[in-house]
Amino acid sequence: MRIKLEIKTECIFSTQVSVRVYDLNYGNHVSNDAILRFAHEARVQWLKSMNWSEANIETKGIIMSDAAIQYISEGFLGDQIEIQIHLDDLSRVGFDMYYNMINTTQSKVLAQVKTGILFFDYQNRKVCAVPDEFKNRLF
């Protein structure tokens, strides 16, 4: 069975990346690991826009608990990729992030990604509750 992601929420942030030579695989198109790097770059940029970081969101950090990727089309060297971030499925300790990756050079969706994000107390090395300020700002 193939993974089919469904993005159900509004975009809260978008950014652009260019496909670089080290984003390509032997098929001369965007590699699978580059898709996760694109998601990571977008997540870091979004957090920075909120005056947060992966290590400090209202004194707590985050970790990625899982990832799913639906590859939709190819991307090539120099293509411009718009990455739209969507949040969903808030729980006591985390939420899901969806990334809609649009190849604006080719006017096609490149990929859709979901990452499970958990809040993490790095000092005590354990999962912790979602900070109230995070919930109040985004959910």
Q: List the Cα angle 70/72/76 in 5-degree steps.
A: 120
d(CA 75, CA 103): 7
Neighbours of 61 (CB within 10 A): 17
Q: Where are the domains of the chain?
A: 13-138
What is the Cβ-side half-sphere exposure of residue 1, based on CA atoms within 13 angstroms? 3
Q: Tell me the pLDDT tens digit for each residue of 77-133.
A: 999 999 999 999 999 999 999 999 999 999 999 999 999 999 999 999 999 999 999
Pairing of strands 94-103, 80-88: antiparallel
Fold classification of 13-138 is: Thiol Ester Dehydrase; Chain A (3.10.129)
Rounded CA Rg of the chain: 15
pTM of the model: 0.96
Q: Tell me the pLDDT tens digit for each residue of 39-72.
A: 999 999 999 999 999 999 999 999 999 999 999 9
